[in-house]
Amino acid sequence: MPRIALLLVLAALSAVLSGCFTSDHPMFAPESAVRAVGDGGKYATFEQVDGKEQPSDPVEIRPRGANGYDFVDEKGAVNPVTFHALPDGRYVAQAKLDGDQGYGYLIARIEGPQIIVTPIDCTKQDAARMDALGVRRPSQYECRIDAVADPIAFFSALKPDAVVSRMVRQ
């Protein structure tokens, strides 16, 4: 799903993911965003490829507004991202996708100078439960969450995938 590549600049996370969660409109208000990575900085990034960690493109994280960030790649492309705290200490990263594609979501864990990124594959969640929560599946590998009433509870309850990437502050 190429659109998630834009979101993954958020951690230069992973090139292409399937089964991603997206929405037409932001599920989290700007006021609920937190400064999860402080003042940001320059980050080296690493991805899991065939079970081995490989270096990826570096990214610079710059503070944006009260509690948001700009993730800037080597070419200068800027992607706005906000982090929203979950009760277990993880964060939902909400990123504006390209054009009118809406917003994409990943789970991040901050461990000292590292951002550990864990995608959540909608195809691996209980389908009946997703339907009951209002998740819409416009394609096999996409779950739209615009009708989810409580995004904090929703993301807290999802089964995460294995870690796919990490960022290390330089």
| pLDDT reported for residue 109 | 94
Neighbours of 96 (CB within 10 A): 18
3-class SS of residue 6: helix
3-class SS of residue 5: helix
In this prediction the pTM is 0.86
CA distances from 34 to 39, 78, 137 (A): 11, 19, 29
Phi, psi (degrees; rounded to nearest 5) at 94: -110, 120
Q: Which residue, 120, 132, 131, 124, is CA-closest to 156?
A: 120
Query: Could you read off the pLDDT of 73-88 as tens digits, one per residue?
Result: 999 999 999 999 999 9
d(CA 8, CA 59): 11
Query: Could you read off the pLDDT of 146-162 as tens digits, one per residue?
Result: 999 999 999 999 988 77
